[in-house]
Amino acid sequence: MDFILDGIRQFTWQQGLMMIIGAVLIYLAIKKELEPSLLLPMGFGAILVNIPLSGAITQSLQGIGDVTGIVEWLFHIGIEASEAMPLLLFIGIGAMIDFGPLLSNPKLLLFGGAAQFGIFMTITFAVLLGFDIRDAAAAGIIGAADGPTSILVSQVLKSKYIGAIAVAAYSYMALVPIIQPMAIKLVTTKKERAIPMPYNPKSVSKTTRILFPIIVTVIAGLVAPTSVSLVGFLMFGNLIRECGVLRALSDTAQKDLANLITLLLGITISFSMRAEQFVQLETLLIMALGLFAFVFDTIAGVLFAKLLNLFSRKNKINPMVGAAGISAFPMSARVVQRMGLQANPTNHLLMHAAGANVAGQIASVIAGGVILQLVPLLLG
């Protein structure tokens, strides 16, 4: 009857810790509603894969050989082999994005670019902490504030910390309403936060809306060909939305496809939350680096807006709009709107911030593609 005790005998404190972490993720998802669609499956998956001899991961059975576990299989097929899951999710995200506020004021694109600086600051900082360039780049990409991009880049770069990176990326995205106000207040005065920005949108033709995703894909692809799958799938989703003749497909991409992939992505990522891989000091460092990246992205966006204000006498930009250049949509735009109203009750920044926010979505996938282009060159 020894077999009954096999599982209990092999239980380690690290697995117990991972189960507690899984329970905390489930708690945060249900009680605090922090990115529940991702954190709940990841939390439950963390429990699944850390049960000793778990059938959810591949086990070698005496006399039979290897028996494939479903979570491990999903990870190999959906993420490791082709990065299919994060990429397919991009179709859904692209179909959800309305680039209208950005197209009516294309200058906002610049904020999306500036707010990626934290990624590269973090990479340098991670290198100083002793991470190799591959893991440093994977940690830095958490600053893209874009879960699928973080997963994809860390996977392509074969980082050991994909689990920690996914947890950090999604946790911090959910914590944007707490992290960003602190970072914004560090580098702005109340007077700057109260700068009014009237909203005079230019009309955007349907042709522009249709051509935009195609043009972005071609331009990004020519500069960073490795970004084609990332940018291309995001823009493919957007083209389906904007073309006007694929309403049913657009609805499916926005709802069914995005929900289905999200459901599977969380539990699949949990494969990289096995105790032997996750419970180590570096995991905590990765989480800290992710926070660093988020804060510096926000600060870089704000400082860039302040820099532009130095060259503009009229039509000053509220520097908080720069902070919305990170990819966390629409949380970041909402934070800026709320803080703008706190500083000046007549100041409505939502549409400017939303434009910068969708610019951040484009810039974050470009940043991911650029990193995938440059890091392999450094590795020789």
The contact set with another protein (CB under 8 A) reads 103, 106-107, 109-110, 112-113, 116-117, 119-121, 123-124, 126-128, 130, 132-133, 136-137, 202-205, 207-208, 211-212, 215-216, 219-220, 223-224, 359, 362-363, 366-367, 370-371, 373-375, 378
For 143-285, where are the E strands, in sequence order?
none
Nearer to another protein (CB atom), residue 84 or residue 215? 215
Question: At its nearest, how many Å lie between another protein and the CB of residue 369?
Answer: 9
Nearer to another protein (CB atom), residue 226 or residue 332? 226
CA distance linking residue 293 with residue 371, whole number of Å: 15
Nearer to another protein (CB atom), residue 193 or residue 209? 209
CA distance linking residue 126 with residue 17, whole number of Å: 25
**E strand or H helix that includes residue 66:** strand 65-67
Question: At its nearest, how many Å lie between another protein and the CB of residue 127?
Answer: 4
Would you tell me how many other CB atoms lie within 10 Å of the CB of residue 44?
Answer: 18
Nearer to another protein (CB atom), residue 331 or residue 362? 362
> What are the tokens at 234?
């995001």
Nearer to another protein (CB atom), residue 265 or residue 295? 295
- In the block, tokens 């988020």 appear at 294
Nearer to another protein (CB atom), residue 133 or residue 341? 133
Question: At its nearest, how many Å lie between another protein and the CB of residue 124?
Answer: 4
Residue 367's Cα: distance from chain center in Å?
12
DSSP 62: T
Nearer to another protein (CB atom), residue 49 or residue 165? 165
Question: At its nearest, how many Å lie between another protein and the CB of residue 228?
Answer: 12
* Beta carbons of 31 and 45 less than 8 angstroms apart: no
CA distance linking residue 315 with residue 375, whole number of Å: 40
Nearer to another protein (CB atom), residue 26 or residue 370? 370
* Beta carbons of 42 and 269 less than 8 angstroms apart: yes
CA distance linking residue 351 with residue 347, whole number of Å: 11
* Beta carbons of 165 and 135 less than 8 angstroms apart: no
Question: At its nearest, how many Å lie between another protein and the CB of residue 284?
Answer: 18
> What are the tokens at 300?
């870089």
Question: At its nearest, how many Å lie between another protein and the CB of residue 371?
Answer: 7
Question: At its nearest, how many Å lie between another protein and the CB of residue 8?
Answer: 43
DSSP 273: G
CA distance linking residue 214 with residue 145, whole number of Å: 24
> What are the tokens at 5?
């005790």
Question: At its nearest, how many Å lie between another protein and the CB of residue 218?
Answer: 10
